Amino acid sequence: MKFVLYTSVLNQEHYDVLVVPDIVKTSRAANSRDGITGVLLFDGLNFTQYFEGEAASVDALLANILRDRRHKNIVMILSGDLPGRLYADWGMGYIDISDNQFDMAACLAAADFSVNSFKQKMSRLDVE
């Protein structure tokens, strides 16, 4: 399984937070069709997303995200291959962290950061 973890900023010059539910709805349908699983976090301004699947599907999704005007300042955190899925049951889990005391920047900057530590931290949050 190939995976990608990135962060980006909502392009507020053209969009506002009301676009996020549509992103989630559309992405869940497309991810189901394309065999993609993962999780999207949004804090009111910043996205952090982890997704996984067959390499061709992951590459196609990443290309779409890079072209999507709703995102800006896209930063790749990690990408690579894993022997299996971390989020086999999530076509796309969605976690709104805008009202939480969760510090995504600190999570990603931790010295022991890995996809497994990311998953462990996500398991403590409420997933929609």
Task: Output the pLDDT for position 100.
Answer: 66
Average pLDDT of the segment spanning 78-83: 94
- Give the residue, 108 or 63, on which the prediction is more confident: 63
Average pLDDT of the segment spanning 53-70: 95
- Give the residue, 109 or 68, on which the prediction is more confident: 68
Q: Which residue has the tokens 């790749």?
A: 76
pLDDT at 116 over 80: no
Q: How far apart, in whole angstroms, are the C-alpha atoms of residue 128 and residue 117?
A: 20
For residue 103, report the phi and psi dihedrals to the nearest 5 degrees: -105, 95
Output the six-digit token pair for 89: 């049951």
State pTM to two decimals: 0.85
Q: Which residue has the tokens 């699983």?
A: 37
